[in-house]
Structures are given as C-alpha cells and as structure tokens.
Amino acid sequence: MIVALAGGVGAARFLDGLSQVHPPKEICIIGNTGDDMEMHGLYICPDLDTVVYTLAGLANPVHGWGVDGDSFRCLEALGKLNAETWFQLGDRDLATHIYRTARLRAGESLSTVTAAIARSLGVACILKPVSDDPVRTIVQTPGGPLEFQTYFVRRRAQDEVLGVEFQGAEDARPAPGVLRAIRSASAIVFCPSNPIISIGPILAVPGIRQALRRRKCPAAAISPIIGGRALKGPAADMMRGMGMEVSSLGVARIYRGMVDLFILDRADKRLAPEVEKLGMRAVVTNTIMTGPAQKKALARAVLKALERT
Amino acid sequence: MIVALAGGVGAARFLDGLSQVHPPKEICIIGNTGDDMEMHGLYICPDLDTVVYTLAGLANPVHGWGVDGDSFRCLEALGKLNAETWFQLGDRDLATHIYRTARLRAGESLSTVTAAIARSLGVACILKPVSDDPVRTIVQTPGGPLEFQTYFVRRRAQDEVLGVEFQGAEDARPAPGVLRAIRSASAIVFCPSNPIISIGPILAVPGIRQALRRRKCPAAAISPIIGGRALKGPAADMMRGMGMEVSSLGVARIYRGMVDLFILDRADKRLAPEVEKLGMRAVVTNTIMTGPAQKKALARAVLKALERT
C-alpha cells in the first residue's frame, strides 16, 4: 500500500498518473482538510473534492477544480437572493456538498462520507481526510487573520502572508486508519502540493509527523516549486512571506527527517547537492504534468526511485 | 389589507390575479407549511415557494411548481451519489432551499427568511408562513402513516387516504403578525386550495380558526373542486377517502362559520342553494384560471362580491 499525502490540484494530477501505473486499490490518499469551509450552510472540502473529481475523470482539466462542464445556475439564483457568490460552486459540484453536509449533520464522520462519495463516483483509491475533527488554515495578514478561502479566493491571495495557523489541529485526532496506513505502508509519497497550507495541516495533526519520522518504508516528496515558482496556487508567495527560501530546496527543508527521496524538476538540477545535504536523496526528473503521459512518467519515476531506496 | 389563506398552485394562480387588481402591498398571504419537508438536509417549503415563484413571475406555467426553465444537474449528480431523487429539485430552485436552510440553521425564523426571499425576488405582497413552528401533514393510509410529500410525490397519491393529521400543530404558535393580520383585515380570502391539506394545516394552528370565526370583515372562499374534481392535486381523492362529499358543497361544509361568501364555478351552479343553507352567500362565476385574463377576472369577481358583503 502506497500512502500519499495530498493537497489539491497538483496532488490530484500526480495521483491520477500514479493510479494508472500502480493498482489504485493499493493507494491510500490522506487528504488535506485545512481549507475546508462552510458556505451557504454547506460543508465544502475543496482539496478532497479536487482529488475525487480528478480520479473520477470528472475534473475540469483547465483550472483543475470543480466538475468539467458544470453550470452555475444555483449560484446565480443564490446571488439573486443576495447570498455570497465569490466562491464558485457549480450545480453538479453542489450535489457533493449537499450530500456530504446532510450525512455529516446526521452524525456520520467526514471519513465515512468521503469514502462513500469516492466509491459512488467510481474512485478505487482509498481516500481519507487527515482528520474527522475540524482543522482550519488561518492566514495571518497585516489586516488580521483570514480563513484560507477568504485569503485565496475572495481576496485573490493579494494580502501579505505573515504566518499560517492550523486552528483546531492540536486537538484533532487522525481519522480512523490514517496512522495505521502510514505505519504499514510500503512507500509514502508527499504529493506536489503546497508544503505550508496543503501538507502543513496534515503534518499538524498530532501523531502524523511522528509516524512519518518513524516510518518503516521509503518516503519521497515531489517539489511543487519549480524554478522558484509554484505551478499553481499561492505556495511561492506564502513561503516568501514566511521568510522561507522559495525553491525546491526550501520545500526540502520543510520535509527534512520525513522523506528519504526528494524529486526535483530538471530546472532545479543545480539544487540537488544542497538537497542531499539535508539527508535525502535528490532525484532529478521532469515534474511538470502537462498531460496524461507526463503524469504517468512522473509517477513511474517516483515509484522507480522508491523501489531503489 | 386583504388576508389570503393559501396552499400551492391554485392559490398562487389566484394570488397572481389578485395582485394585479389590488395593490400587492395590501395583500397579506398566510401560507401552508404542512407539506414542508427536509430532503438532502435542506428545508423545503413547496407551498410558500410556489406562491413566491408565481408572484415573482418565475414559476413554471405548466405544472405550476418550480422555476420555469430550470435544469436538474445537481439532482442528477445527487443521483450518482445514490441520494434520493424522487423529489424534483431544480438547480435554481435549490438556491432557495440552500439559502433558507442556512438562515434557519443560523437561528432565524421561517417567517423572517420567507419575507427575505420574497423581497429579494421582487414580490411586493406580504407572505407569512402560518407558523414558525413545524406543522407536518401526515397522511394515514392502510400501509401506515406517510409524510405528505411521500404520499403525494413519491407514491403518486395512490394510497387510500384514511385520515390526515397535522403533527406539531397543537403546539404551534401563529407566526408573528398572522393573528393581527386576520383581526385587522378588510377582507379575508380562502384561496382555491385543497381544504384538507393546504388550508387544513393553517386552520389547525391554535388561534387561527377562532380569529377567523371572530372576524370583523367579510370572508370569501373559492372552491378548488369543480364538477366533483380537483383541477390540481389530490383534494378529491383525499375528501373521498375521508368520507366527505367531493364537491363544492363538501368544501363549503368544511369552511362553515369561517366564510360569508362561497365562490363556485358555473359548473356547480346547482349546488348554490345547498351552499347558502350553510349560512354563506353563494357566488357563481368562472373559477377556472386558464390564463392571465381568467385569473384577473376571478380576482375581480371575488373583490366585487366581498365589497357587497
């Protein structure tokens, strides 16, 4: 069983490739819930849904989130009722949020409902939220604390990031099976996700970091930063704001002690020696997933490197 | 101020006409909540919404419920998640339920939220649910009790009706302003709605029936039964099942003591003398609202009759 720590779009693309070169039933994905939110009384899990939609072949191939070809009639009608419409919720996508919210309110756990949604949409990988307890990513800005989606979507990531906090993480317990999956994994992969706000909340749940440090299998991380930039999302700005080096090396530092292999893009080849000084083997390959072939090639390269470790 | 007691489609059509021949701000509609339901965790008010959509010019002109031209993408997606899909919920319609549910869960009252929805959609009439407390119409059938929408939509009104119960009605309080509206009305109209399950739940809320009996203004009821049939919905079958006479006369008996005028269709002219024996004046006119002109004509006829009382 390969255990993958996953954020949103970057992770979903990598996992799409991985599930085509490794039996999907032997992939256990531990998903970020830090950017979950409530909107219109609905419980929304952007990262979990991005992973599910991508693996179900439903995702929008251009921006990566939401359901491809979705319409926005409900959102338009919500706008006429003077409800907030800054968070794009398509009609098909809404079904997921409505369904999840109803089952959560009926007392079921997020991991039970997440598994049911994945199964119903034909996803064979195992998908677990890192925790059934709420973990909320709060971005500290000069104007005060902002919930992640408010910072990222509503305010378009324009605020300076002074720091990040994972509210509730201290008291959160890993979801059922998460620690067991890490302990019994044959390999662990940190997907190419934002290390601060996608992987960060996962690592902030008590027990996870320790389980990763005590792993009995090789672990690899794929850098989401290429040539000093994030392909997607606010990772670069956030790292800069928090005084970190915006580079693959900066990412490798965050994962120090938890990974044995660090996968860098060819563009960052020169950083390989520095990465290796952190006690991890640097693997240089093409990490930009421009299409299905690149996704699979990256997954194969990661698996190959893990096998050799 | 005209106070109108209203169910769903028949009432909405009549009120559409009434609001065109009387200032809509001087019409206070007291709406049925007995067939409200929770589905997918959303709080749905079929009758209130039918009235709002109709008065806002958004209603589907053919079947009368829902939003005209609505799509059903969210419902289709809910079906893929194995959620129930027997209750048709369009994408635009869903916005109303999502919005209402969020505000109710935030602690606001149904009457506050109903007023906000009506206002946002440009409805000038005052619309109040009969109560902010839950009143649920339960249909007794040979197979056991059924919630109204289960009886009517899911099981297509095929079960024999042994009786009807309004769960919660005994403990329900009239919504703020409802009793005051009845007491200070210049006229009261019982819309052409199912007397058992549309007007029945309104009358079952303590205080309403008494306020109607003690009215200081004329009150008129429009028969929803024409020639022994209901134009819409299960009224005829329900009356039959409950041992009532399925006719305008049967309806008039239900409203005895609460109305001064009873409006019958020309097809039921022969029943007028029997109706008058119940202590109400029978007014024979065309009550079938096939189009905008007929709606207005019926409203004018009712107003004229009320003025003469």
In tens, the pLDDT along B191-236 reads 999 999 999 999 999 999 999 999 999 999 999 999 988 887 888 8
Measured CA to CA in angstroms, residue B88 lies from A71, B44, B55, B73, B149 at distances of 18, 11, 21, 11, 11
Smallest Cβ–Cβ distance between A81 and the set B83, B91, B95 belongs to B95
Note the pLDDT of residue A243. 87
Model confidence band, residue B14 (pLDDT cutoffs 50, 70, 90): very high
**Pick among A73, A104, A123 to test the B interface (most B CBs inside 10 A):** A73
Query: Angle, to 10 degrees, between the axis of helix A73-80 and the axis of helix B91-105?
Result: 50
Residue of B nearest to A101 (CA): B41
Taken in order B145, B149, B151, B155, the sign of the CA dihedral is negative
Report CA Rg, chain B: 18
Model confidence band, residue A24 (pLDDT cutoffs 50, 70, 90): very high
Cβ–Cβ gap A92/B74 under 8 Å: yes
C-alpha span between A160 and A164 (Å, rounded): 11
Half-sphere exposure of B151 (CA within 13 A, CB side): 28
Only one residue has tokens 């059934």, namely: A132
Q: Quick one: what percent of chain B has pLDDT higher than 90?
A: 90
Q: What is the pLDDT of residues A50-100, one digit of tens each?
A: 999 999 999 988 888 899 999 999 999 999 999 999 999 999 999 999 999
Q: What is the pLDDT of residues B81-102, one digit of tens each?
A: 999 999 999 999 999 999 999 9
Q: Quick one: what percent of chain B has pLDDT higher than 70?
A: 100
Q: Domain residues of chain B, as ranges?
A: 2-134+170-307
Are A223 and A263 in contact by the 8 Å Cβ rule? The answer is: yes
C-alpha span between A55 and A156 (Å, rounded): 27
Only one residue has tokens 């009235």, namely: B51
Residue of B nearest to A79 (CA): B95
Taken in order B51, A86, B42, B63, the sign of the CA dihedral is positive
Q: What are the φ and ψ backbone dihedral angles of B42, each rounded to 5 degrees?
A: -105, 140
Residue A233 identity (one-letter amino acid): G
B chain contacts of residue A81, beta-carbon cutoff 8 Å: 95-96, 99, 116-117, 120-121
Query: Angle, to 10 degrees, between the axis of helix B9-21 and the axis of helix B46-55?
Result: 30
Note the pLDDT of residue A242. 85
Residue of B nearest to A99 (CA): B40
**Which secondary structure element, helix H or strand E, spans residue B265, and what is its range?**
strand B261-265
Note the pLDDT of residue B189. 98
Half-sphere exposure of A98 (CA within 13 A, CB side): 34
Cβ–Cβ gap A73/B83 under 8 Å: no
Distance from the B112 Cα atom to the nearest Cα atom in chain A, whole angstroms: 13
Distance from the B120 Cα atom to the nearest Cα atom in chain A, whole angstroms: 5
A chain contacts of residue B76, beta-carbon cutoff 8 Å: 92, 95
Residue of A nearest to B43 (CA): A102
A182 contact partners, CB below 8 Å, separation of at least 6: A3, A30, A188, A208, A211, A212, A215
Only one residue has tokens 């000084």, namely: A277
Note the pLDDT of residue B242. 85
Q: What is the pLDDT of residues B137-163, one digit of tens each?
A: 999 999 999 999 999 999 998 999 999
Note the pLDDT of residue B230. 86
Distance from the A74 Cα atom to the nearest Cα atom in chain B, whole angstroms: 5
Are A131 and A175 in contact by the 8 Å Cβ rule? The answer is: yes
**Pick among A45, A67, A80 to test the B interface (most B CBs inside 10 A):** A80
Is the model's pLDDT at B302 over the cut of 90?
Answer: yes
Cβ–Cβ gap B94/A77 under 8 Å: yes
Residue of B nearest to A40 (CA): B102
Half-sphere exposure of B86 (CA within 13 A, CB side): 9
Q: What is the pLDDT of residues A201-239, one digit of tens each?
A: 999 999 999 999 999 999 999 999 999 888 878 888 888
A chain contacts of residue B116, beta-carbon cutoff 8 Å: 81
Q: What is the pLDDT of residues A172-182, one digit of tens each?
A: 999 999 999 99
**Pick among A42, A98, A123 to test the B interface (most B CBs inside 10 A):** A98
Cβ–Cβ gap A77/B83 under 8 Å: no
**Pick among B44, B73, B78 to test the A interface (most A CBs inside 10 A):** B73
A chain contacts of residue B41, beta-carbon cutoff 8 Å: 98, 101-102, 105-106
Query: How far is CA A188 from its chain centroid?
Result: 14
In this structure, the number of other CB atoms found within 10 A of the CB of residue B92 comes to 24
Is the model's pLDDT at B266 over the cut of 90?
Answer: yes
Q: What is the pLDDT of residues B166-184, one digit of tens each?
A: 999 999 999 999 999 999 9
Q: What is the pLDDT of residues A117-174, one digit of tens each?
A: 999 999 999 999 999 999 999 999 999 999 999 999 999 989 999 999 999 999 999 9
C-alpha span between B15 and B6 (Å, rounded): 9
C-alpha span between A60 and A68 (Å, rounded): 4
Q: What would the CATH number be for the domain defined by A2-134+170-307? A: 3.40.50.10680
Model confidence band, residue A240 (pLDDT cutoffs 50, 70, 90): confident
Taking alpha carbons only, the member of A159, A130, A129 closest to residue A146 is: A159
Smallest Cβ–Cβ distance between B40 and the set A91, A99, A121 belongs to A99
Model confidence band, residue B309 (pLDDT cutoffs 50, 70, 90): confident
Smallest Cβ–Cβ distance between A81 and the set B70, B106, B120 belongs to B120
Taking alpha carbons only, the member of A283, A223, A276 closest to residue A248 is: A223
Note the pLDDT of residue A122. 98
Note the pLDDT of residue A237. 85
Q: Where are the beta strands (DSSP E) in B60-194?
A: 126-129, 136-141, 144-147, 163-167, 187-190
Note the pLDDT of residue B231. 80
Alpha-helix residue ranges (DSSP H) falling in chain A: 9-21, 46-55, 73-80, 91-105, 110-120, 148-149, 178-183, 200-204, 208-213, 235-241, 248-255, 272-277, 292-307
Averaged over B246-253, what is the pLDDT? 95
C-alpha span between B203 and A209 (Å, rounded): 63
Residue A134 identity (one-letter amino acid): P
Cβ–Cβ gap A73/B81 under 8 Å: no
